[in-house]
Amino acid sequence: MPQAASRGSRKSSQAVLPRAARGGSREAIVEAAARLFLSHGFGAVSMDELAEAAGLARRTLYNQFASKEEIFREMLLRVAGELENAFPPGIETQGDVEEVLRLIARMILDLHTRPEYLGFLRMVVADSRQFPWIAEEFAAVMDPQADRLARYFAHLTALGVLDCSNAMLAAHQFMGMLNEFSLWPWMMGRQPPPMPAEQIAEETLRIFLERYGRPRSAKAGKADAA
C-alpha cells in the first residue's frame, strides 16, 4: 500500500463506527473479512474481494462499511464484547481471591476455544507490523483488561491478602501462564498440550497463590479451627 494511503488509513481509523443494525449482509461481510484477512492479510484484500466473498453487490458492501478499516473496527468491537463476557463487571466481588481467580481463569480458557477470537488475534499479529494502527487499536481494547486485573491485585495487596510489589507484573504473569497452554500453541499452528482446561486453571491458580498469597497468621488459623 502506498505511504499516502497508509496515512489516510491511519487517520480514518480514528473515526467511530456508526451503530448500524447488524443485518444479514453486515454479518456476511464481517465473516468474509475474517476469512480473507486471516488467509491473505489485511493489506492484500480489496473491498471488491470482500463483496464477492460475502456474496454481496459492491454497493451493498459500501452501504454497510466505507472501508476495510471500518470492517476491522467492527471485528474489534465484537472482540471487546467477548472480553467483556470473559471479565464481566463485578467479577472481583464473586468470592475470595481464590474463587475469583478460578472463575477468571476458566473464562479466559473458554475464550481461547473460540475460533473467531483466535483467528482475529492471529490476524492482528500478522498485520500489525505493516499497519501499526491495528496494534494500537487492538491494544486499546486489551490493555484495560490487564490494567483492571492489576488494580484488583493492588487492592488485595493493600488489604494484606496478596503480596504483589508489582501488580501489573503479577497480572501479566497470571494471564501468561494461561496463554502458554491454550493460546500460543494455536497461534503458532501447533496442537496445545493434551491436558484439560480445569487442570490448567487449577495449577495456574496454585502457582500464583503460592508466590503472591500472604500466609494467614497463626491467630487467624486458630480462629478458623475454633
161 in Cβ contact with 214 (< 8 Å): yes
- Answering whether pTM is above 0.85, one says no
Write the single-letter amino acid at 62. Y
At residue 212, the pLDDT reads: 96
Any idea what the Cα angle at residue 184 is, between residues 192 and 113, rounded to 5°?
65
- In the chain, list all ranges with CATH 1.10.10.60: 19-66
- Tell me if 129 sits within 8 A of 6, measured CB to CB: no
Q: Give long-range contacts, CB 8 A cutoff, 24+ apart: 60-63.
A: 60/25, 61/25, 61/29
The pLDDT of residue 225 = 37
- The Cα 81–Cα 66 span in angstroms is 22
Give the fold, CATH level 3, of 71-215. Answer: Tetracycline Repressor; domain 2 (1.10.357)
Neighbouring residues of 80: CB distance < 8 A, sequence distance ≥ 6: 141
Exposure pattern of 152-189 as b/e (b: 16+ CB <10 Å)?
bbbebbeeebbebeebeebbebbbebbbebbbeebeee
Q: What's the pLDDT score for residue 14?
A: 33
Query: Quick one: pLDDT at residue 22?
Result: 40
CATH code: domain 19-66 is 1.10.10.60
Which residues in the chain are classed under CATH 1.10.357.10?
71-215
- Residue 1 is predicted with a pLDDT of 39
Please tell me the predicted confidence (pLDDT) of residue 157: 96
Give the pLDDT means over successive 10-residue stretches in the chain (226 positions).
39 34 72 90 92 92 94 90 80 88 91 83 88 93 90 95 96 92 74 83 95 67 38
